[in-house]
Amino acid sequence: MRRPFAAAWLLLPLSLAAAGLVAQEPSAPNRTPPALRRSADQTYLTYPEWFLVFSPEAYADWVAERPPTDFPFLAHVRDVWAGYAAVSAEVPDETPTNWSYHAMIWVIAGSTTVEYAVRAVYETTIGRLSAATVTAPEPDGHLSAEDRFGAEIARDYERFLRQSAWYDFDYENALGRLWFDVPFTTGSPLRAIERRYALSSEFLFKLGYAQVLRAASHGTFDEASFVARTAAVLRGLPEDAAIEGLVVEERFEDGAVLVTLPRYEAFVPAARALAATGADFEEICGNRGRILVSLRAPTGTPAPGRALRREPFAAGRERILFDVPIDELAGTLRTIAPPAEIEHIYDF
């Protein structure tokens, strides 16, 4: 015969613990120095910033082979805002709202929305009309020397964004090169004139806007937020591990080590190299919760962690945005193999 009170006895220790009557094992102390910590919400809120790196990359890929006339500007506007909504919903409830960072996202995403909307209208009207006047494209497939130069600048800009703020890009130099170094395409004069107008307008506007944003950014965020290093506490790191950019800052009695690694784009190969040694993460920037990762993989590939969003970015391939516990990050990296590839690890 079942005795109802037996279950109550089994649950008593849990009830006492919840009431604080049974001593609980304290959580492990944070071993990252305060100066090297970053808020837990940063791993999520940095995604919209990085999407605005991936979008110029997609544009640079596009214009490397064809004119920008049919580039899906408005689809990218949709994706930046949808991505922002998806990651914002995952910020831990106990994390204070980082209003300054949200404001920064609103500014850059809003600016991109306006820019892409204007460019979508312009390219599908005036840009398309000028493209129609070209009877003999350049040997490399571009419509004009001006188109080729625009593609070169798009690629330079995309690469620059991976380690630097967009407003530090040298638009003045790009403008000078356009007018003094690029030969005028005499075979397609209407296209040459239109492209020079379009590129000059873009460079001049961004040159002025960059000066405003540069001043505002450095006035809003303290210098620590620009430190290009990421702190991590590791377990199981071999003493002879040689990883580019890794600096051992402190060794703990239990064998764990505090290290600093390159931040931003360079964090990805460093993290993968650490994972390959068999090491595991315990903390990243003082956080022990979850970390955001994005993967580029064939459409329909299972997410290696908790999937937050999927979006197509090329024929038959999609971006998978997912997160994993920090102590499972290295193990997850060890399981990812071609044709899937890590796009970015959002290191707070």
Give 289 or 19, the one with higher predicted confidence: 289
259 and 159 within one domain: no
Can you list the alpha helix ranges (DSSP code H) found in the chain? 5-18, 42-63, 73-88, 99-122, 128-132, 145-161, 171-180, 189-220, 267-276, 329-335
Per-residue burial over 315-334, b if 16 or more Cβ lie within 10 Å, else e, is eebbbbbbbbebbebbebbe
Best CA proximity match to 48, nearest among 7, 3, 11, 78: 78
Q: Is 133 found in the same domain as 73? A: yes
Give residue 217's pLDDT band: very low, low, confident or very high (50, 70, 90).
Answer: low
Residue 17, in any domain of the structure: no
- One domain, residues 237 and 321: yes
CB 284, CB 333: distance < 8 Å = no
Listed residues 207, 223, 239: the one ending a domain: 223
Domain assignment present for 14: no
Structure tokens at 272: 């993968």
pLDDT recorded at residue 227: 61
258 and 290 together in one domain? yes
pLDDT digits (tens, 9 = 90+) for 268-306: 999 999 999 999 999 999 999 999 999 999 999 999 999
Angle at 133 between CA 132 and CA 139, to 5 degrees: 90
Least confident of 98-102, 216-220, 255-259, 326-330: 216-220
In a domain, 134, yes or no: yes
What is the three-class DSSP state of 136?
Answer: coil
Same domain for 263 and 183 = no
**What is the structure's pLDDT at 12?**
34
> What pLDDT sits at residue 223?
45
Pick the last residue of a domain from 194, 223, 252.
223
Residue 57 has pLDDT above 80, yes or no: yes
Report pLDDT for 109: 96
- For the chain, how far is it from start to end, CA to CA, in angstroms? 56
Q: Give pTM, 2 decimals.
A: 0.85
Indicate whether 219 and 79 sit together in one domain. yes
Whether 12 maps to a domain, the answer reads no
At residue 164, does pLDDT exceed 60? yes
Q: Which pLDDT band holds residue 27 (cuts at 50, 70, 90)? A: low
Span 65-85, pLDDT tens digits: 899 999 999 999 999 999 999
Percent of the chain surpassing pLDDT 70: 89
Q: Which residues contact 233 (CB under 8 A, 6 or more apart)?
A: 31, 32, 256, 257, 258, 259, 281, 282, 283
Our count of domains for the chain comes to 2
**Residue 200 shares a structural domain with residue 55:** yes
Domain that holds residue 273: 225-345
| Same-domain check for residues 69 and 161 | yes
Same domain membership, residue 257 and residue 187: no
The string over 159-180, giving b where at least 16 C-beta atoms fall within 10 Å of a residue's C-beta and e elsewhere, is ebbeeebbbebebeebbeebee
Percent of the chain past pLDDT 90, that is, above it, reads 78
**pLDDT over 90 at 133, yes or no:** yes
pLDDT-based confidence at 135, cuts 50/70/90? confident
Q: Of 278, 291, 282, which Cα lies nearest the Cα of 344?
A: 291
pLDDT number for residue 19: 38
Name the average pLDDT for the chain: 89
Residues 57 and 172 in one domain: yes
